[in-house]
Amino acid sequence: MDSAQGKHSALVVATLSAFITPFMGSAVHIALPSIEREFGIDAIVLAWIATSYILAAAISLVPFGRLADIHGRKKVFTYGMVIFTISSFLSAISISAPMLILFRILQGVGSSMVYATGIAILTSVFPPQERGKVLGINVAAVYIGLSLGPFLGGFLTQHFTWRSIFLVTVPLGLISIALVLWKLKGEWAEARGEKFDLPGSLIYGLGIVAIMYGISLLPGLRSLWLIVCGFLSIVVFVTWETKVENPVFDLDLFKTNRVFALSNLAALISYSATFAVAFLLSLYLQHIKGLSPQSAGA
């Protein structure tokens, strides 16, 4: 894609999607007390409304990034945005907590498909001398979404109920889909023809689920077994990935690229702290301090 119009379209699509997905993740935190009151759920189920989205994205991000390299980044991006948009609408009309958690899982899957391919599309479209600028714009959109999420989420929850948070992302998703189909030409699949590592993806997913579910059950004895099984699965995953011909994730990157390894470690620490603080502060400010959703978000 060499035309200026094509580059501009790719940047708009990637930036819009980079805003939507983190906005959803942070905005829902402010709506949790309202969801809790409407469905009459306990703290554990409430936590899964937030965690299911992140967990589904974490499980599917790596496999879908690999599938995008094999079958086409634009194709995976488009399917991901469709799944995200539909699941956002279905989340808004959910009538029970289990239904909402199910659609939040679908949201997380769609989000991972979008996030795994958005930056990859930009690097495929723009030459090296222009990538720094466009990647900076993309990252800025991510943090704008994270920053505006609590404020807009609180405003929408207080004045239009928590369901409006999901509804406002639907037109943005439709705009992204329309731009991709109308303006974004071409396809990028640098690993076309290679095999997809399904066993490695399953082992990785099961390990992450076991660890996260085990942590949610602490301090019960069953939680320790799940956490141990989860870490054993990760060990098996690492062993498998070093032996398979076409791994779902090239672990040699951590050995040969120190900047990559340390950047990922820094991101892990940063997002872990951010997610925990946002979740706990929302409950504290609204339950303990008695603030309204709008005041808590501000």
Three-state secondary-structure class, residue 233: helix
Mean pLDDT of 168-193: 83
Domain of 56, CATH number, reads 1.20.1250.20
- The continuous run of DSSP H or E covering 189 comes out as none
Question: Do the beta carbons of residue 44 and residue 97 sit within 8 Å?
Answer: no
Q: Tell whether 181 is covered by a domain.
A: yes
Question: Do the beta carbons of residue 1 and residue 123 sit within 8 Å?
Answer: no
Model pLDDT, residue 138:
86
Distance CA 24, CA 168 (A): 10
Q: Tell whether 150 is covered by a domain.
A: yes
Q: Tell whether 241 is covered by a domain.
A: no
Q: Tell whether 202 is covered by a domain.
A: no
Q: How confident is the model at residue 3 (pLDDT cuts 50, 70, 90)?
A: low
* Domain total in the chain: 1
Residue 105 predicted with pLDDT over 90: yes
Q: Tell whether 24 is covered by a domain.
A: yes
Which of the 8 DSSP states describes residue 244? S
Higher pLDDT, 58 or 87: 87
Question: Do the beta carbons of residue 208 and residue 58 sit within 8 Å?
Answer: yes
Model pLDDT, residue 298:
59
For 34-98, list the strands marked E by DSSP. Answer: none
Mean pLDDT of 162-173: 91
What's the distance, CA 145 to chain centroid?
12
| N residues, the chain | 298
Number of H helices, E strands in the chain: 11, 0
Q: Tell whether 179 is covered by a domain.
A: yes
Residue span of the structural domain in which 65 resides: 4-191+290-297
